[in-house]
């Protein structure tokens, strides 16, 4: 997993911290109450709608979490019921496959495209970026992909049968392939990652010039300069990708509703099914379970990977 | 820089260079295809929108779908209780509400965290602000929903004040616009963007202003704010896109369909369509539903495309207006 490069970074004098230091003594005192006026609203919002609901979730998962009526404490009954439910196990399996395959197939693309895009002349980068970041809202793109995937008149079916001469296929109604087809738009619509581009710009040109004099090839430069330098941002993006893709909901829900036969029903989608049945305690317990699984994944990841580009 | 500066004229290097360019343009074009196809499909007649093979340009362009979509609420009250523009308005109110609340709250906190708070408290406060980013948001859905009903108690009924029969006063924002706006009052993601930007402003500028005398807030307003337009553009843009597109939370906290956002309304229409069978021509004839009169007049996938385009439009307009600031805000240097 670790992308350690055996190349020693050229000595670059770090001038920034030294320049900022001398002002500290001369700095006028910051008035206390004014500082609190800046942060207090944010603290209140972050507490009441950020941390507080998270603690409450753990408490509610041990009760029947009713919308009306009496709150009763049920211990670990909710969890026991969920663990006995084969559909919970299935939804976790679907979620792991969806997240794992999704990250495997799509995570590297924006990194590579960002690296390649930065090779273009500035004027061209500008034009391409503007076109690339023309936004299509989530709902609109879901409607578009539903249309593309239609088995009778969708354009993908047209490409499969008329252009490639393959037999007609059941894209989203095939149990074995549905997850791949849900990920496929992410592969096809490739583009550069914004944060990767900013990070690439901070690499000194001299690194590449030095590597060139040493005779490093195209891929060699990517492997030993660009990627290690981008490592903190890649590492952070990967964590967010793990957290995000384990909670996949809107796109598969709108595309397949979890079908066929639950082959694309993720944990969050199943949580919603439970919620619609009025089993609020179970739904909360399931979300806490997913939370625990994701936190374990994140912690394991942080154990395995260090963020330091010079490591 | 990856391509050698010496020997650029060699044919292998040239070929590689053009190969990369072709790849990049392919990506750009693929990205633009949905816009074209949606636009073209929206001006096709119903049958052509579901024709195989698909046509690249309609044989007889028609705006029938654009006209019919506006009539959905007249014909099918059970699908949409309000005219379509009402949902547009609801989405706009929520979106601007969130922007008006969360951008000042978040940016002031990020500024304080970046420039005003030093010492032992700085680090815990920073973790407090961004820690929720590392946690899956789904876990707070049900508790937050309960909180909108009896704030600050996540309970169906507020407890009584000990020793009396009077219940604690609670705040009920459920089923109002506030239920979408207030919980979004602080954004950890925007906080990081703001802080990253404010960190890059030299302390000396702010200290100079302090020597001249002036409250911290005035320094922020007169010195920092004018130089921070790009980061505000980026965060407002992200917030706009996020709230405008949000579906799950409004669905949970807003029951009254008259104040539902556009995303929820569109989902209701697409659902009605798939039950009516228009999304597959095999069953289109037999299906009886509230939308049948419109379907007979020529509404099918062309109408769904209209809805998609209408939904995408505000974010698109915002992007066009703010594109210069957005490019600066992500600090892509040397592109001027």
Identity of the residue in B30, B52, B113 whose CB atom sits nearest the CB atom of A188: B30
Question: Does residue A270 belong to any structural domain of this protein?
Answer: yes
How far away is chain B from the Cα of A188, in angstroms, using its nearest Cα?
8
What does the pLDDT read at residue B110?
94
Q: How far apart are CA B79 and CA B56, in angstroms?
A: 32
pLDDT of B135-153, one tens digit each? Answer: 777 888 889 998 998 888 8
Q: How far apart are CA A62 and CA A64, in angstroms?
A: 7
Query: What count of CB pairs under 8 Å joins A to B?
Result: 308
Are A190 and B129 in contact (CB < 8 Å)?
A: no
Q: How many other C-beta atoms lie within 10 A of the C-beta of residue A86?
A: 7
How far away is chain B from the Cα of A10, in angstroms, using its nearest Cα?
16
Which positions 13-42 of B are in contact with A (Cβ < 8 Å)? Answer: 16-17, 20-21, 23-25, 27-28, 30-32, 34-35, 37-38, 41
Closest-CA residue to A240 (of A195, A197, A204, A182): A195
pLDDT of B214-223, one tens digit each? Answer: 788 888 998 8
CA atoms within 13 A on the CB side of A33: 1
Which positions 62-121 of A are in contact with B (Cβ < 8 Å)? Answer: 65-69, 71, 113, 115-120
Are B31 and A134 in contact (CB < 8 Å)?
A: yes
The answer on pLDDT for A18 being more than 80 is no
DSSP state of A29: P
B60 alpha-carbon distance from chain centroid: 35
Q: How far apart are CA A193 and CA A196, in angstroms?
A: 5
Q: Which residues on adjacent β-strands are paired with residue B167?
A: B160
Sign of CA pseudo-dihedral B44, B48, B49, B52: negative
Q: Residue length, chain A?
A: 311
Are A43 and B128 in contact (CB < 8 Å)?
A: yes
| pTM of the predicted structure, to 2 decimals | 0.84
Identity of the residue in B135, B247, B327 whose CB atom sits nearest the CB atom of A250: B247
User: Distances from the Cα of A138 to the Cαs of A17, A282, B145, B238, in angstroms?
Assistant: 43, 29, 23, 13
Q: Which residues on adjacent β-strands are paired with residue A73?
A: A63
CB A175 within 8 A of CB A97: no
Question: Does residue A258 belong to any structural domain of this protein?
Answer: yes
Range name among A297-311, B215-229, B246-260 with the lowest pLDDT average: A297-311
Q: How far apart are CA A58 and CA B287, in angstroms?
A: 46
Question: Does residue A67 belong to any structural domain of this protein?
Answer: no
By three-state DSSP, how is residue A196 classified? helix
What does the pLDDT read at residue B6?
66
Closest-CA residue to A156 (of A141, A143, A169): A169
Cβ-based burial of B54 (10 A; exposed 0-12, middle 13-18, buried ≥19): buried
- Comparing B335 with A124, the larger pLDDT belongs to A124
Residues 6+ apart with CB under 8 A from A292: none
Cβ-based burial of B333 (10 A; exposed 0-12, middle 13-18, buried ≥19): exposed
Question: Does residue A115 belong to any structural domain of this protein?
Answer: yes
Query: Which of B14, B139, B275 would best serve as a mutation to test chain A binding (most A beta carbons within 10 A)?
Result: B139
What does the pLDDT read at residue A19?
41
Q: Which residues on adjacent β-strands are paired with residue B151?
A: B171
Residue of A nearest to B304 (CA): A143
pLDDT band at B101 (very low <50, low <70, confident <90, very high): very high
Task: Supply A197's token pair.
Answer: 């581009």
Mean pLDDT of B100-111: 96
How far away is chain B from the Cα of A128, in angstroms, using its nearest Cα?
7
Mean pLDDT of A105-117: 93
Q: How far apart are CA B35 and CA B58, in angstroms?
A: 15
Are B111 and A38 in contact (CB < 8 Å)?
A: yes
By three-state DSSP, how is residue A16 classified? helix
Sign of CA pseudo-dihedral A180, A184, A190, A195: negative
CB A197 within 8 A of CB A118: yes
**In which domain, by residue range, is A194 found?**
86-304
How far away is chain A from the Cα of B1, in angstroms, using its nearest Cα?
6
Residue of B nearest to A43 (CA): B129
pLDDT of A67-102, one tens digit each? Answer: 777 778 888 888 999 999 999 999 999 999 999 999
DSSP letter string, B228-264? THHHHHHHHHHHHHHHHH--HHHHHH---GGG--HHH
Query: Which of A35, A56, A158, A188 would best serve as a mutation to test chain B binding (most B beta carbons within 10 A)?
Result: A56
B62 phi/psi in degrees, rounded to 5: -145, 150
The CATH number of the domain where A269 resides is what? 1.10.3720.10
Are A153 and B52 in contact (CB < 8 Å)?
A: yes
Terminal alpha carbon distance of chain B: 19
Question: Does residue A77 belong to any structural domain of this protein?
Answer: no
What does the pLDDT read at residue B244?
93
Are A271 and B138 in contact (CB < 8 Å)?
A: yes
Q: Which residues on adjacent β-strands are paired with residue B171?
A: B151
Question: Does residue A31 belong to any structural domain of this protein?
Answer: no
- Angle at the Cα of B73 (from B70 to B74), degrees rounded to 5? 90
Residues on chain A touching B50 (C-beta within 8 angstroms): 152-153
Residues on chain A touching B148 (C-beta within 8 angstroms): none
If you average pLDDT over each of A284-288, B5-9, B46-50, which comes out highest?
A284-288
Mean pLDDT of B28-44: 92
User: Distances from the Cα of A127 to the Cαs of A120, B25, B111, in angstroms?
Assistant: 11, 11, 33
Are A153 and B185 in contact (CB < 8 Å)?
A: no
Are A212 and B4 in contact (CB < 8 Å)?
A: yes
Question: Does residue A21 belong to any structural domain of this protein?
Answer: no
The answer on pLDDT for B54 being more than 70 is yes
Residue of B nearest to A186 (CA): B31
B167 phi/psi in degrees, rounded to 5: -75, 150
pLDDT band at A29 (very low <50, low <70, confident <90, very high): low
CB A247 within 8 A of CB B106: no
How far away is chain A from the Cα of B152, in angstroms, using its nearest Cα?
8
pLDDT of B302-336, one tens digit each? Answer: 888 999 999 999 999 999 888 888 777 665 443 32
CB B35 within 8 A of CB B46: no
DSSP state of B220: I
Residue A48 contacts B, CB cutoff 8 Å:
yes
Identity of the residue in B203, B245, B333 whose CB atom sits nearest the CB atom of A138: B245
Residue B92 contacts A, CB cutoff 8 Å:
no
- As for how many domains chain A has, the answer is 1
Cβ-based burial of A141 (10 A; exposed 0-12, middle 13-18, buried ≥19): buried
How far away is chain B from the Cα of A297, in angstroms, using its nearest Cα?
11
Are B128 and A194 in contact (CB < 8 Å)?
A: no
Question: Does residue A78 belong to any structural domain of this protein?
Answer: no
Q: How far apart are CA B266 and CA B247, in angstroms?
A: 10
């Amino acid at each position: 997993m670790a992308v350690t490069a055996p190349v020693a970074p050229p000595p670059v004098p770090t001038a920034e911290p030294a320049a900022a230091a001398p002002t500290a003594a001369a700095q006028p005192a910051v008035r206390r109450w004014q500082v609190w006026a800046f942060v207090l609203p944010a603290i209140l919002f972050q507490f009441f709608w950020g941390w507080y609901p998270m603690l409450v979730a753990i408490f509610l998962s041990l009760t029947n979490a009713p919308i009306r009526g009496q709150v009763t404490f049920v211990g670990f009954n909710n969890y026991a019921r969920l663990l006995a439910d084969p559909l919970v196990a299935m939804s976790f399996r679907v979620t792991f496959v969806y997240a794992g395959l999704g990250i495997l197939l799509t995570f590297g693309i924006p990194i590579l495209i960002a690296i390649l895009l930065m090779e273009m002349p500035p004027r061209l980068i500008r034009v391409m970026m503007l076109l690339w970041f023309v936004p299509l809202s989530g709902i609109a793109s879901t409607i578009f992909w539903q249309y593309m995937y239609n088995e009778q008149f969708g354009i993908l079916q047209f490409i499969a049968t008329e252009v490639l001469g393959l037999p007609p296929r059941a894209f989203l109604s095939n149990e074995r392939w549905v997850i791949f087809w849900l990920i496929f738009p992410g592969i096809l619509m490739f583009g550069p990652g914004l944060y990767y581009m900013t990070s690439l710009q901070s690499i000194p040109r001299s690194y590449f010039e030095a590597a060139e004099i040493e005779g490093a090839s195209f891929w060699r430069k990517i492997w030993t300069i660009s990627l290690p330098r981008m490592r903190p941002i890649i590492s952070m993006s990967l964590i967010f990708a793990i957290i995000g893709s384990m909670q996949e909901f809107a796109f598969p829900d709108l595309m397949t509703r979890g079908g066929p036969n639950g082959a694309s029903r993720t944990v969050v989608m199943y949580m919603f099914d439970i919620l619609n049945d009025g089993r609020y305690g179970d739904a909360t317990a399931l979300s806490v379970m997913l939370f625990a699984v994701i936190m374990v994944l994140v912690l394991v990841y942080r154990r395995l990977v260090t963020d330091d580009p010079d490591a | 820089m990856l391509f050698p500066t010496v020997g650029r004229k060699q044919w292998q290097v040239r070929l590689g260079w053009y190969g990369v360019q072709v790849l990049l343009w392919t990506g750009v074009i693929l990205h633009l295809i949905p816009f074209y196809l949606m636009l073209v499909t929206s001006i096709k007649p119903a049958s052509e929108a579901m024709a195989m093979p698909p046509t690249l340009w309609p044989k007889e362009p028609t705006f029938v779908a654009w006209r019919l979509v506006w009539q959905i609420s007249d014909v099918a009250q059970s699908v949409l209780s309000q005219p379509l523009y009402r949902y547009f308005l609801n989405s706009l109110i929520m979106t601007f509400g969130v922007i008006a609340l969360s951008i000042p709250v978040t940016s002031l906190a990020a500024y304080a965290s970046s420039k005003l708070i030093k010492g032992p408290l700085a680090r815990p406060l920073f973790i407090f602000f961004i820690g929720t980013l590392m946690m899956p948001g789904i876990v707070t859905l049900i508790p937050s929903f309960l909180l909108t009903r009896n704030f600050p108690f996540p309970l169906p009924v507020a407890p009584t004040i000990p020793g009396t029969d009077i219940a604690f006063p609670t705040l009920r924002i459920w089923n109002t616009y506030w239920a979408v706006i207030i919980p979004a009052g602080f954004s950890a993601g925007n906080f990081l963007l703001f802080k990253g930007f404010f960190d890059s402003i030299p302390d000396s500028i702010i200290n100079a202003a302090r020597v001249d005398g002036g409250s911290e807030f005035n320094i922020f307003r007169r010195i920092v704010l004018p130089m921070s337009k790009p980061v505000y553009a980026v965060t407002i843009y992200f917030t706009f896109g996020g709230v405008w597109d949000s579906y799950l939370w409004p669905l949970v906290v807003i029951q009254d369909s008259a104040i539902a956002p556009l995303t929820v309304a569109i989902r209701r229409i697409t659902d009605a369509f798939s039950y009516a069978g228009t999304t597959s021509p095999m069953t289109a004839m037999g299906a009886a539903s509230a939308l049948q009169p419109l379907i007979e007049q020529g509404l099918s996938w062309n109408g769904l495309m209209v809805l998609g385009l209408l939904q995408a439009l505000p974010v698109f307009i915002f992007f066009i207006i703010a594109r210069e600031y957005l490019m600066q805000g992500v600090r892509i240097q040397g592109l001027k």
